[in-house]
Amino acid sequence: MASLFLSECGLRPLPVLYTQPRTSVISSQKPPKFVFLNKTSKRVSLDLGFKARKWELKVSAPLRVSTSEEEEEGVKELPQFDPGAPPPFTLADIRAAIPKHCWVKDPWKSMSYVVRDVVVVLGLAVVAAYVNSLFVWPLYWAAQGTMFWALFVLGHDCGHGSFSNDPKLNSVAGHLLHSSILVPYHGWRISHRTHHQNHGHVENDESWHPLPEKIFKSLDNATKILRFTIPFPMLAYPFYLWSRSPGKSGSHFDPNSDLFVPNERKDVITSTVCWTAMAALLIGLGFVMGPIQLLKLYGIPYMLFVMWLDLVTYLHHHGHEDKLPWYRGQEWSYLRGGLTTLDRDYGLINNIHHDIGTHVIHHLFPQIPHYHLIEATEAAKPVLGRYYREPKKSSPLPFHLIGELLKSMKKDHFVSDTGDIVYYQTDPNLSGSSTSK
């Protein structure tokens, strides 16, 4: 009846729209307005309600208060993350999340990076030799040492087969790149393959793996200092090529080393010959230009390259603010081992050294070319969840990583001789602390 009366008099109530659910006893909905329609079609608004009150405290009361038992259940639903627990996804799940084009290898694109880096290396050497200034040489050493490291990363891609689908092209490019910086291509390629196949395994890993407590305690003090006191560990790579890590034997130059199987011996000999040829070339250049000039143009950049290699490879597996697990026996798997690797941000160096800091996806799928690693990582992050550890953002130059390295060297010394999931422990004599962590 009221509606009929209002419609006959030209008054129509505006509909009330509830755009949001009410969350408190007192409604904030404004009172309805009535619009009067006169003969000239003008609208006259009549406010028939009261103005909303302004309360000193605007508190929304919950519709229902949970009990203490329910709160406890809610806590149980969000358990603390255990990095050593088996992940709720598989390697196939990660692979399916990565776009198909990320797996495509473009040999022309790969070669373009080689041309770019070689041109920069030669250009830097020519400029430094021509200017021959005390101010220029330190800049040259830093830049050229970084470029030598970039050459290594491209040769590393050849070793993984992510450079191209042509094994011959990979081998030729890999030998040229690695021999030029005194790396035995096949000898390193095979041992690095062992590292990827056993990443995160205490005994079977090949690169910067932890020492079991028994082996660690058998080392003399001088060896411990050299292994865990900066800068000595950052110069370890050439020695590793000849004698590997404590507890392991064999040489990357020896075809009879237990690093290799019999059908790989010819490859090792080929790489050793190429390495020897490069060493002979450098000796010859020393006679031509003099040993001091050779040291400035090649020797010091080579040492800085070695420091880059040791720094990057170490920090890919150490130095996170949370302890990372290492595995033995039935607990180890390719996926769980790979998930303990770390991405690192190197600022401006990311592009120079071909995004090798994007390391987690590279470890799980080393066949992905370096120029697709960032996109593949972004695609895989939703699957990885908390098993992916976002790297700290770097300033233009990654000086923050020096602090990460120093902290790790002070506390990551050995792991227990027993147990299938173990974490690094600390020798108080090396860390300067009174208790082992």
Distance CA 367, CA 376 (A): 12
Per-residue pLDDT, 76:
52
Tokens 């690095």 belong to residue: 192
Write down the pLDDT at residue 430: 86
Tokens 């300033």 locate to 395
What does the alpha-carbon distance between residue 175 and residue 181 come to, in Å, rounded to a whole number?
10
Q: Specify the pLDDT at position 174.
A: 98
pTM of the model: 0.80
Residue 61 CA to residue 66 CA, distance in Å, equals 12
Give the pLDDT score at 249: 86
Q: Phi, psi at residue 326, to the nearest 5°? A: -120, 155
Positive or negative: CA dihedral 328, 331, 336, 341? negative
Query: What was the pLDDT predicted at 374?
Result: 97
pLDDT at 255: 95
- pLDDT at position 11 is 43
Q: Which residue has the tokens 């009221």?
A: 2
In the prediction, which pLDDT does 78 show?
Answer: 52
Instruction: Please count the other Cβ atoms lying within 10 Å of the Cβ belonging to residue 136.
Output: 14
Q: Report the pLDDT value the prediction gives residue 247, as an integer from 0 to 100.
A: 79
CA distance 198 to 152: 22
Extents of the domains making up the chain: 1-14+33-50, 91-321+341-395
Which residues of the chain fall below pLDDT 50?
1-66, 70-71, 74-75, 433-437
